[in-house]
Structure 1
Amino acid sequence: MIADVLKEATGRMERAVESAKDDFATVRTGRANPQLFERLTIDYYGSPTPLQQLASMQNPEARTIVITPYDKSALKAIEDAIREMPNLGANPTNDGNLVRVTMPELTQERRKEYVKLVRAKGEDAKVHVRGIRRKTKDELDALQGEVGEDDIARGEKELDALTKTYVDKIDEALKHKEAELLEV
């Protein structure tokens, strides 16, 4: 029973770390990265559609992304959606066949803003992991009559070790992203 509860908590914590890494990937660095547009949805014939379903993306140069839509009628909608993206600062150009997005150079001030943003996202992810820990501890406490107190105490120690492991993974991803952001 305790092993099942801990296994479920491990899976949820793993997903929280992956979600944090995905969040970090949406914050742009000095280079262009197609992951910046992963969460972008386009209003395509009245329904919100993810950009990956509407177009292919290439990264021909360090600061340029070329987006080629499968349906040329979506060009304007893609261009408008990219222009409206917060925290991007890029001005897409449309040549009738594709959309070219050239990322501007990041200033030192802007880099520091992005570091603050990434730290906030990292802290949110750690809070989420701790929330999973709290919920799992409540589940372990609910097993009080079914299993012995020693087993529950052992389970709580394992849970604390799991929590520390996943918080450390978030810190490691955060440190990597900060270094990437501050790299000139």
Structure 2
Amino acid sequence: MADNDVLGTAKDKMQKAEAALERELGTIRAGRANASLLNNVTVDYYGAPTPLNQIAAITIPEARVLLVKPYDKSALNDIEHGIYAANVGLTPANDGEEIRLVVPALTEERRQEIAKQVKATAEQGKVAVRNVRRDAMDTLKRGHKDGDYTDDEWHKLEDQVQKETDTAIKAVEQIASDKEKEILEG
């Protein structure tokens, strides 16, 4: 395997780990409305499970209110059932035209619990990055053993993988820090 392939693959996988962390943290309620809270909601729409964002417009008219306006009003009850089934922790209020979801304010104690959850999720992200690093290092080691790289090339490549890992770990920490700040400030 060419050295650029190993580095490129490692970098790509590390970026995917960062993106996965951002998606995961996006589903955590922070006491304010965020359309990503409804990312996991699927609706039984004409017999097919359909993501909510494909059959309704989701807007944020106020800081703590999500407004779900279906493109097809006949799907309103199905959307309401889908929100209940997804267990997002919000109670839908159906007025016959649209569904309002009010995000309750968080208590200080709940904010601390969620901050701990963010840290744990970030740690999983770091572990994913470290696993990518380990796999890349193993690939480089095999390549060196097979004679694909000289000692100097091998050490240079290992340094580059470590630099990518350090960059990815910093990015994960920044993502988690931003989310934690958002939660604690409310």
Return the TM-score normalized by structure 1. 0.93
1:1-184 matched pairs, under 5 angstroms: 1-86=2-87, 88-144=88-144, 145-184=147-186
The answer to whether the 8 Å contact 1:32/1:59 transfers is yes
**AA in 2 matched with 1:180:** E
**AA in 2 matched with 1:69:** P
Determine what percentage of the aligned residue pairs are the same residue.
Answer: 40
**Count of aligned residue pairs for this structure pair:** 183
List gaps (5 residues or longer) in structure 1. none
Compute the displacement of 1:61 (Å). Answer: 0.4
The answer to whether the 8 Å contact 1:32/1:62 transfers is yes
Compute the displacement of 1:105 (Å). Answer: 1.2
CA RMSD of aligned residues (A): 1.4
List gaps (5 residues or longer) in structure 2. none
The answer to whether the 8 Å contact 1:89/1:104 transfers is no
Q: Residues of 2 paired with 1:76 and 1:118: CA distance?
A: 33
**AA in 1 matched with 2:81:** D
Return the TM-score normalized by structure 2. 0.92
Compute the displacement of 1:118 (Å). Answer: 1.2
The answer to whether the 8 Å contact 2:40/2:86 transfers is no
The answer to whether the 8 Å contact 1:5/1:136 transfers is yes
